[in-house]
């Protein structure tokens, strides 16, 4: 299984419009997003990009299974930061994602580290090195949204899964 992690930054006249612009920037705007809890299945390969996810399977309105962090702000000079972190066992590929949002990059990164350490401790596992992708923007005049999304797979409404490639 391939899981793609990317980011989106958006601006708009409302927080919702900024969120939609961020989804579009990430390449996932035309799907119905279904948020997952943060378990990475065995044999998963995670790839990251700063660019929109292209060549996603599925069509307009299909379901897209994701782990997502998103932060929206509309106060001038306020910051919006979002991030996803993960740990993954090198031998099996299984692992954990966490998602955090906040008003500073430092806070989001520290929350990701602390959460992943706690999740591994709860499960009595050590999946090794912590990885993360964090994105942010300062609100100037219009509302902004920062998001990071991990895309698992798409599915149409007839329950036909379409794997990310």
Q: Cβ distance 55 to 6 under 8 Å?
A: no
- In this prediction the pTM is 0.91
Total residue count of the chain as it appears in this document: 165
Catalytic residue among 32, 45, 104, 110: 32
Q: Could you give the dihedral angle defined by the CA atoms of residues 127, 69, 101 and 142, in that order, rounded to the nearest 10 degrees?
A: 150
Whether 99 is catalytic is yes
Residue of 79, 99, 101, 109 marked active site: 99
165 residues of the chain, pLDDT tens digit each? 899 999 999 999 999 999 999 999 999 999 999 999 989 999 999 999 888 787 777 788 999 999 999 999 999 999 999 999 999 999 999 999 999 999 999 999 999 999 999 999 999 999 999 999 999 999 999 999 999 999 998 888 887 666 666
What domains lie within the chain, and their CATH numbers?
Answer: 2-157 (3.50.20.10)
- What's the rounded Cα separation, in Å, for the pair 21 and 3? 22
> Does the active-site annotation cover 165?
no
d(CA 108, CA 37): 18
Among residues 37, 43, 159, 165, the one annotated as catalytic is 37
């Amino acid at each position: 299984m391939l899981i793609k992690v990317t980011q989106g930054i958006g601006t708009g006249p409302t927080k919702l419009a900024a969120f939609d612009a961020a989804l579009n920037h990430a390449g996932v705007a035309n799907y119905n997003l279904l948020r997952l809890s943060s378990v990475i299945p065995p044999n998963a390969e995670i790839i990251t990009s700063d660019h929109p996810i292209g060549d996603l399977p599925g069509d307009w309105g299909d379901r897209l299974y994701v782990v997502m962090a998103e932060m929206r702000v509309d106060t001038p000079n306020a910051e919006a930061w979002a991030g996803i972190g993960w740990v993954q066992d090198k031998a099996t590929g299984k692992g954990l994602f966490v998602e955090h949002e906040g008003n500073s990059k430092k806070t989001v990164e520290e929350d990701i580290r602390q959460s992943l350490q706690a999740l591994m401790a709860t499960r009595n596992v050590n999946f090794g090195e912590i990885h993360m992708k964090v994105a942010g923007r300062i609100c100037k005049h219009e509302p902004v949204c920062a998001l990071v999304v991990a895309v698992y797979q798409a599915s149409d409404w007839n329950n036909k899964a379409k794997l990310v490639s």
